[in-house]
Chains A and B, each alone.
Chain A
Amino acid sequence: MTDLPGYPSRRGFLKATAAGFALSGVAMSAKAADKTPPVPLDQYERSYFTAEEWAFVMAATARLIPSEGNGPGALEARVPVFLDLQLAGRYGAASDWYMEGPHDPGAEPARGWQTPLTPAEVYRQAIPAFDAWCADTYGKGFAALSPQDQDAALSALQKGEAPLAPELREFFGILLANTKEGYFADPIYGGNHDMQSWVYIGFPGARAAFREWPERHNVKYPLGPVSITGERA
């Protein structure tokens, strides 16, 4: 495995094995353990991201949903894979959206998506722009920063203190939203690996049949999740 520059070794390990649940303290179901493990994230064949972009989303999602503490982090959940597949598909291309000009990307945020760029193009242009800001501010690109500096840089991006062109203004918003989507969407989309994010919060996934439950008041639902393809965790 090739580690990313500046990665603490623990996250390097998680990224490489993607089976780090033991480390993060989440119990693995027999079924999940029986499965052949998925391709490690550093060997994953990307559909959309370049190598530099991949290094960025690995590092950024690992701070947005870190591995520390209870529950899987974005890397254990394989959120970067989800992002790659989404951006390679209809969402990334804004296929369903109205994208005709003229565009007014500087319009007030309450007016909605007004950049001429698609989500995939926003990632493509914003990552190097933000990386350049990180290099200016901290002397290194985002992926090479310490976790503390990464958090500070992401906060600055969120608050608009790391200035991006108006066309790229939505970047932090979609990065965070897409990261949470990848964390919680059904595993068929590449993230929420082994449904561990659902297990963590207690969401039963695609069970969707609770006929006898409405009137069981204040009783915690006991069953773990199932996925659309019928796996259990």
Chain B
Amino acid sequence: MARQEKKKDVVIVGLGWTGSIAGIELAREGLEIVALERGRDQNTVPEFKYPNQIDELKYGVRLENMQKPAQQTVTVRRNGDETALPYRHLGSFLPGNGVGGAGTHWNGLFWRPQAEEMRLRSYVKENWGEGIIPEGMNLGDYPVSYEEMEPYFAHFEKVAGISGQAGNVNGEIREGGNPFEAPRSTEYPMPPMARTYDSAKFHDACKAAGYHPFQAPAGIASTSYVNPYGMQMGPCNYCGFCERYGCYQYSKSSPQTTILDALKRMPNFEYRTHSEVLKVELAADGKTATGVTYWDEAAQEEVFQPADMVILSSYQLNNVHLMLVSGLAAPYDPATGEGVLGKNYAYQMTGGVSLYYRDANFNPFVGTGANGVCIDDFSVNQNDFGKLGFIGGAYWRSGTFNGQPIRSMSLPPGTPSWGAGWKEGIGEWYGHAMSIGAHGSHMSYANNHLDLDPTYRDRHGRPLMRMTFNWQDNDLRMIQYMKTQMEPLAATMQADITKSSFKDIGAQYDVRPYQTTHNTGGHIMSENAREGVVNKYCQSWGQHNVFVMGAGNFVQNTQYNPTGLVGGLAYHTVDAIRTQYLSNPRPLV
């Protein structure tokens, strides 16, 4: 028999970016809230303090800040004919763990999607006809438009403390910003970050080529800042220990620096760490949730936490897993197209060029997770899909973000991987290399989906989630196109040596090298209950008192890092809860 806790108005599952947003906004409504977080509590001081966090082996390589596969993982197969095998240690993606979630150790690259990306199917249809949509691609529109989302993006930028240069304010194009972004109602809250040498080189090459370079929008404080919750940030030190690390000073945008201290002060908010939610419990008719069951690590027992409302904010992968094991919707069957849960899993397509200059000093250890200059000249709304033969696009970026030598030792082609030649190579080339990356969209396909694994189980006896995922030709063609455009630009930059790495057509998904932690889809938003798991307010179609946060809502992935859209959707959802749901709990659509 599970222990039972006192009933709350709201239980929040996972206290990362979206759980913190839900927590503070609903606590301000006076609701009694408990957040359950499976990991530890962590704060700037003491957990992230200098110099302990400046430890590449512990955090960068052994991944101390991340989800432990021993606690939770997935199995992976590349197609329905393969047997899925466990993702036994982290490689390709690094889900977060502990208070703040991946929001503590992200890079801070902060993007709004393009307006076209929110209505991609319609955009394709209007311009080229649905005939160009490849067989098996589940191309869709988001059930909410960029225009509806704009105020929520603007608000999240203020909360998160974003540094950048606006390119399009209410339709007026601003010099130095991104001219291809959708219109924004406001400037960024802080001016753009400083420009490092590599990004200056890239900037100049782009200008000469007629492109439109701009400083990367960053969840990194370029100056001192106070956000709407009264939280203070101080200017960044360009410490170079950003991605995979908690910020040792109050400069990187995170739940800790922008929300949690304000939230923890509120008497109607409580959070419990080392509390791993195992299941969402449903009422007998299945139409509402009654609360959640979690594992209390300290007491080593299961606990039932009753609540009137359940917010799932445990990251895309964990949300889908919890919904599958709890039976919140019918699992997706790629053969018939029936069912919705686990549908449209998508990821990110990337590639790039490295440039080696014998005589240049890049000081690669000087930088931030979101450093760099970007261009959007090859982004979704700039590409002629009909002519180019793919649907999608990419933004390009160049900027040092860490010079940590275990992982960031870029060497020219032909350098041996060990021995005297390797040792000579690291002495010759460390600090003399820069790179340009293309960060591209990833569409959704019938073939790429999530369900429960038939064989492997977690420590609680629950089936692991099974990921069926492989690269598809459309996105490979997109990245191959980026190669044809990036190599000539790189050639104008006159490096001594250049090296390209772009996936070829036919490339197979490899779980080993880090790619991105931009896992999307699986509990997608939709116009109706037949096509997705949640409505435009991220409210479960099946249970109106369950709201689901995170990139699992994405219909297909955008070309950008996801958190701008993730946070925008979270604010859109809590606004609907506040203004429409609380007074009259019901399905909002």
Interface, chain A (partner B; CB < 8 A)? 63-66, 68-71, 73, 90-91, 94-100, 102, 104, 107, 109-114, 151, 154, 158, 176, 179-181, 184-186, 188-189, 197-198, 200-211, 213-221, 228, 230
Instruction: State whether B248 touches A208 (Cβ < 8 A).
Output: yes
**Complex Cα spacing A205 to B193, Å:** 23
Interface, chain B (partner A; CB < 8 A)? 50-52, 54-57, 61-63, 68-70, 73, 76, 83, 85-89, 91, 193-197, 200, 235-241, 248, 360-361, 363, 365-367, 371, 403-406, 409, 417-420, 422-424, 426-427, 430-431, 455-457, 508-512
**Complex Cα spacing A63 to B193, Å:** 44
Instruction: State whether A154 touches B363 (Cβ < 8 A).
Output: no
**Complex Cα spacing A71 to B427, Å:** 8
Contacts of B76 on A, CB cut-off 8 Å? Answer: 111-112
Instruction: State whether B89 touches A97 (Cβ < 8 A).
Output: yes
Instruction: State whether B405 touches A208 (Cβ < 8 A).
Output: no
Q: Which residue of B lies closest to A221 (CB)?
A: B363
Given A110-B512, A112-B512, A217-B197, check contact A203 B238 (CB 8 Å): no
Contacts of A69 on B, CB cut-off 8 Å? Answer: 420, 423-424
Instruction: State whether B89 touches A113 (Cβ < 8 A).
Output: yes
**Complex Cα spacing A208 to B73, Å:** 33
**Complex Cα spacing A40 to B419, Å:** 23
Which of B196, B235, B365, B427 makes the CB contact (< 8 A) with A211?
B235
Q: Which residue of A lies closest to B72 (CB)?
A: A98
Instruction: State whether A201 touches B200 (Cβ < 8 A).
Output: no
Contacts of B85 on A, CB cut-off 8 Å? Answer: 104, 107, 111-112, 114
Which of A96, A154, A215 makes the CB contact (< 8 A) with B68?
A96
Contacts of B367 on A, CB cut-off 8 Å? Answer: 214
**Distance (Å) between the CB of B402 and the closest chain A CB?**
10
Instruction: State whether A110 touches B508 (Cβ < 8 A).
Output: yes
Instruction: State whether A201 touches B431 (Cβ < 8 A).
Output: yes
Is the contact region of chain B dominated by helix, strand, or loop, or is it mixed? loop
Instruction: State whether B418 touches A176 (Cβ < 8 A).
Output: yes
Which of A99, A206, A211, A230 makes the CB contact (< 8 A) with B70?
A99
**Distance (Å) between the CB of A25 and the closest chain B CB?**
11
Instruction: State whether A211 touches B237 (Cβ < 8 A).
Output: yes
Instruction: State whether A71 touches B423 (Cβ < 8 A).
Output: yes
**Complex Cα spacing A114 to B510, Å:** 13
Contacts of A113 on B, CB cut-off 8 Å? Answer: 88-89
Instruction: State whether A228 touches B54 (Cβ < 8 A).
Output: yes
Instruction: State whether B89 touches A65 (Cβ < 8 A).
Output: no
**Complex Cα spacing A113 to B76, Å:** 12
**Distance (Å) between the CB of B525 and the closest chain A CB?**
31
Instruction: State whether A200 touches B62 (Cβ < 8 A).
Output: no
Given A98-B70, A185-B56, check contact A213 B238 (CB 8 Å): yes
Instruction: State whether B406 touches A98 (Cβ < 8 A).
Output: no
Q: 12 new A-B pairs (CB below 8 Å) besides A100-B457, A107-B85, A112-B511?
A: A63-B419, A70-B424, A94-B88, A98-B88, A109-B512, A112-B91, A186-B56, A189-B57, A197-B405, A204-B365, A215-B194, A217-B196
Instruction: State whether B405 touches A201 (Cβ < 8 A).
Output: yes
Given A110-B508, A176-B417, A176-B418, check contact A95 B70 (CB 8 Å): yes
Q: Which residue of B lies closest to A60 (CB)?
A: B418
Between A and B, 13 residue pairs with Cβ closer than 8 Å are A63-B418, A65-B418, A70-B424, A90-B62, A104-B83, A113-B89, A114-B86, A181-B406, A184-B404, A205-B54, A208-B248, A218-B361, A220-B361
Q: Which residue of A lies closest to B64 (CB)?
A: A96
Contacts of A96 on B, CB cut-off 8 Å? Answer: 62-63, 68-70, 89
**Complex Cα spacing A96 to B59, Å:** 13
Contacts of B423 on A, CB cut-off 8 Å? Answer: 65-66, 69-71, 73
**Complex Cα spacing A64 to B85, Å:** 32
Instruction: State whether A203 touches B195 (Cβ < 8 A).
Output: no
Contacts of A73 on B, CB cut-off 8 Å? Answer: 423
Instruction: State whether B419 touches A203 (Cβ < 8 A).
Output: no
**Distance (Å) between the CB of B297 and the closest chain A CB?**
15
Q: Which residue of A lies closest to B84 (CB)?
A: A111
Instruction: State whether B418 touches A110 (Cβ < 8 A).
Output: no
**Complex Cα spacing A114 to B75, Å:** 11
Which of B57, B195, B239, B371 makes the CB contact (< 8 A) with A208?
B239
Instruction: State whether B406 touches A217 (Cβ < 8 A).
Output: no
Contacts of B68 on A, CB cut-off 8 Å? Answer: 96
Contacts of B63 on A, CB cut-off 8 Å? Answer: 96
Which of B237, B248, B366, B427 makes the CB contact (< 8 A) with A70?
B427
**Distance (Å) between the CB of B218 and the closest chain A CB?**
12
Instruction: State whether B405 touches A64 (Cβ < 8 A).
Output: no
Given A96-B68, A112-B511, A218-B360, check contact A209 B239 (CB 8 Å): yes
Q: Which residue of B lies closest to A180 (CB)?
A: B406
Instruction: State whether A210 touches B239 (Cβ < 8 A).
Output: yes
**Distance (Å) between the CB of B420 and the closest chain A CB?**
5
Given A208-B248, A220-B361, A228-B55, check contact A111 B422 (CB 8 Å): no
User: Which of B73, B76, B89 is packed against the most chain A CB atoms within 10 Å?
Assistant: B89
**Distance (Å) between the CB of B495 and the closest chain A CB?**
14
Given A110-B508, A203-B403, A215-B194, check contact A185 B238 (CB 8 Å): no
Q: Which residue of B lies closest to A229 (CB)?
A: B51
**Distance (Å) between the CB of B11 and the closest chain A CB?**
27
**Distance (Å) between the CB of A58 and the closest chain B CB?**
16
Which of A63, A70, A151, A218 makes the CB contact (< 8 A) with B197?
A218
Q: Which residue of A lies closest to B73 (CB)?
A: A98
Which of B200, B360, B366 makes the CB contact (< 8 A) with A221?
B366
Instruction: State whether A110 touches B89 (Cβ < 8 A).
Output: no
Contacts of B422 on A, CB cut-off 8 Å? Answer: 65
**Distance (Å) between the CB of B77 and the closest chain A CB?**
9
Instruction: State whether B70 touches A209 (Cβ < 8 A).
Output: no
Q: Which residue of B lies closest to A176 (CB)?
A: B418
Contacts of B248 on A, CB cut-off 8 Å? Answer: 208
**Complex Cα spacing A72 to B431, Å:** 18
**Distance (Å) between the CB of A175 and the closest chain B CB?**
10
Contacts of A63 on B, CB cut-off 8 Å? Answer: 418-419
List 5 A-B pairs, minimum CB-CB distance, nearest first: A185-B57, A208-B239, A110-B510, A98-B69, A201-B430
**Distance (Å) between the CB of A188 and the closest chain B CB?**
8
Instruction: State whether A201 touches B427 (Cβ < 8 A).
Output: yes
Contacts of A180 on B, CB cut-off 8 Å? Answer: 406, 409
Contacts of B61 on A, CB cut-off 8 Å? Answer: 181, 185
Instruction: State whether B366 touches A214 (Cβ < 8 A).
Output: yes
Which of A102, A112, A151 makes the CB contact (< 8 A) with B89?
A112
